[in-house]
Structure 1
Amino acid sequence: MTALSLTACAAPEEKAAEPAAGANPSEVAVVKINDSPDQNRILPAKDDAIAALLPAKTAAAGKLIIGVGAAGSGFPPLAFAATDNKTLIGSEPDIAVAIAGVLGLEPVLENASWENLFIGLDSGKFDLGASNITVTEERKLKYDFVTYRLDNLAWLAKKGSGTTVTGPKDIAGKKVSVSSGTNQEKILVEWADEAEKQGLPKVEIKYYQTNQAVYLALGSGQIDLHLGPNPSAAYHVATTGQTEIVGTYSGAGKDLQGLIALTTKKDNGLIKAYSAALDKLIASGDYAKILDRWNLANEAVTKAEVNPPGLPIEGK
């Protein structure tokens, strides 16, 4: 599924940039993302019936402490620092803040390293982890999950490439980049091997150190495709207008749809409230508005799932 344009449903403070002189008016306009501290986030009204699902201790505290693993430069459009270099913005904070609104709690966003995010969940410092966390069977031993996004990879190409990628035959004979040591590299190698087994032209796999190098390679024709996380690809599509997503694929591989989930310490009594709040956001349309704002509509789920099947434990 091709990523949707941010233009139609962007937040009120965001708008499409003026097209360049001589530009084709039929082309999708580039979106100027609001990266200021003033985010004008969606904050729904409290739903008393859903708030009643909260444990008494959390309800009495009146706050939802949200851990986000975005230390350093962060990960646009998921979670990153605003122009003040401290306010957390992105789709993950937006979803978590909206959840807090439904529950009638004050959202408190706290930035952490990936490791400290889980330490905070373990200790109870964080009520909620909202940080692109994939559901795995190993993590389910310690945490409860409620799903809110598909975990997808994206095939990124130069805009106007005319390419569509649905299987190994579509990358045969092409130059494709991927980050070394990642799950997407494993998938790309499997696809390349399958294309070769079918007697198709060999896939040339290339590696670059940074996303910027990848984008330059796509623009200059040094590579035909890049396989990487859908969110970062969608962000580049929306904010530059130079690339397009020509296919998506589950981050868990061919046998399982990977899922991204809100995360909390196992059996702490919070997961039912989170699940009901997310379903309320989906029903109201606020959920779709948040994903559209960050160009992540192609990762939307239709309902919240509590502790669904996750990536299997290695060797089992």
Structure 2
Amino acid sequence: MPVLARTTTAAVTITLASALVLAGCSDPSDGSTTEVAGTSGAKTKINLSADQQRVTTAKVDSIAARLPAEVRERGTLETVASSTSAAPLNFYATDNKTVIGVETDLVHLVADVLGLKVRITPVSWENIFVGLDSAKYDVSFSNITVTEERKEKYDFATYREDNLGFEAKKGSGLKVDGPEDVAGLTVAVSSGTNQEKLLIEWSKENEKAGRKPVDIKYYQNDSDTYLALRSGRIDLYLGPNPTAAYHAATGRQTEVVGTYSGAGDTLQGLVAATTKKDSGLVEPLADALNEVIRNGTYGKVLARWGLSDEAVEKSEINPPGLPKTDE
């Protein structure tokens, strides 16, 4: 079931700052409003209805002209998305069929600049890359981290910082600052993600240091993961920090007990629009992203989802990413 699929309210008040303080927290599934205050005291009201009233911007002909002819003539940006239960990234509105979220808003904003309409196809995580490889889809805005391994097959235009969050059952007493803090713990993670790669590396590091490895668990969906977390079958869940913070903030009896860069301890991770390598799309995508950063609409989109802290100053093409694992 998608996150908040049973929600009947059109909005939730929330902020996704790194440190969250709950105030008057209640379960949004009962039709109420959840209030969440960050360390600054600021609050963000998030619209969960299908009527999103998205931030829009004007077409820029000089940027649109750089699109591959096939895409320009087709008139649509074929977008593939995953994690449609991952609020506030991509998830279903209260009608249970309209995909909304910060990623969705950003792809619509980029498409405005390019003079294209957006068609979004939700698929499983691994099928994002299958679809890009086969050129079935043009691009994915789906919280994809730039990694050195992925750069061999894909081009990236960055648009947000990538930070991971360790989520625990509320009151667990756990705090995660590094590998030693997860030694011997049972931690769930999604397969094929950069957070899985980091967790595996931490486990190996623990073993080399004479500590217990991490007991890594995989679940088919978020519902199963959170059931395991609430029941104590797992100690932690490692996922994107925005989703962990959102989940904790909406009264689910969990808390974020540590955050970490998606590219490791020596590099700030970056999330990027992802295309098949040499498709000719990455340059106009980066130009469009830099246009919306310049004209302020990008900032408005991040603000409406409570993610202003993850803004980037500019979109970069294929910057340094999460290093390859040393074998």
Q: Same fold (TM over 0.5)?
A: yes
1:66 paired residue number: 79
Q: Is the 8 A contact 1:32 1:239 kept in 2?
A: no
AA matched with 1:295: G
Q: For 1:185, which of 180, 199, 206 is the aligned residue?
A: 199
Deviations 1:131-151 (A, max 9, x none): 222222332222211111222
Decide whether the 8 Å contact of 2:166 with 2:238 is kept in 1: yes
**Structure 1 69/174 Cα, relative in aligned 2: closer, same or farther at 3 Å?**
closer
TM-score w.r.t. the length of structure 1 is: 0.72
2:55 to 29, 42, 59: 42
Using the alignment, how far apart are the partners of 2:140 and 2:183 within structure 1?
A: 42
Q: What's 2:114 paired with?
A: 103
Q: Partner residue of 2:294?
A: 283
Equivalents in 2 of 1:300, 1:291: separation in Å? Answer: 7
Give distance in 2, aligned partners of 1:137 and 1:172. 26
Partner of 1:114: 125
Structure 1 portions without partners, runs of 5+? 6-15
Identity %: 48
Q: Please state whether the residue corresponding to 1:240 is helix, strand or coil.
A: coil
Give secondary structure in 1 for the equivalent of 2:260.
strand
- Change in Cα spacing, 1:177 to 1:120, as seen in structure 2 (3 Å) is closer
Q: Counterpart amino acid of 2:157?
A: V
Structure-1 separation of matches of 2:105 and 2:256:
24
Higher RCO (Cα < 8 Å, 6 or more apart): 1
Matched residue SS, 1:262:
strand
Q: Deviations over 1:27-84 (max 9, x none)?
A: 96986643322211222111222222223332222221111134xx632222122233
Which residue does 1:273 correspond to in 2?
284
Deviations 1:181-239 (A, max 9, x none): 73353365478679988xxxx99989796443476479xxx999764421221212443
- Structure 2 residue runs of 5 or longer lacking an equivalent are 1-16, 22-31
The structure that has the greater radius of gyration is 1
C-alpha distance in structure 1 between counterparts of 2:60 and 2:271, whole Å: 24
CA RMSD in angstroms comes to 4.2
Alpha-carbon spacing, 1:32–1:216, altered in 2? closer, same or farther (3 Å): farther
1:54 paired with 2:54, answer: no
* SS, match of residue 86 in structure 2: coil
TM-score when normalising by structure 2: 0.70
SS of 1:133's equivalent in the other structure is: coil
Q: Is the 8 A contact 1:234 1:295 kept in 2?
A: no
Match of 2:28 in 1: none
Counting matched residue pairs gives 294
Q: Supply the AA of the counterpart residue of 2:278.
A: D
Of residues 194, 207, 212 in structure 1, which corresponds to 2:226? 212
Report the residue type matching 2:78 in the other structure: I
**Aligned AA (1:278):** L
Cα distance, 1:114–1:227 mapped onto 2, change above 3 Å: closer
Q: Bigger CA drift: 132-141 or 209-218?
A: 209-218
Given the superposition, is the C-alpha separation of residues 29 and 145 from structure 1 closer, same or farther in structure 2, using an over 3 Å criterion?
closer
Call closer, same or farther: CA 1:139–1:158 in 2, change over 3 Å.
Answer: closer
2:318 corresponds to 1:307: yes
State how 1:1-316 maps to structure 2 within 5 Å.
2=18, 17=33, 33-70=46-83, 74-156=85-167, 166=177, 171=181, 178-179=188-189, 182-183=196-197, 185-186=199-200, 189=203, 210-213=224-227, 216=230, 227-240=238-251, 245=256, 247-315=258-326
Separation in 2 of the partners of 1:144 and 1:238?
Answer: 34
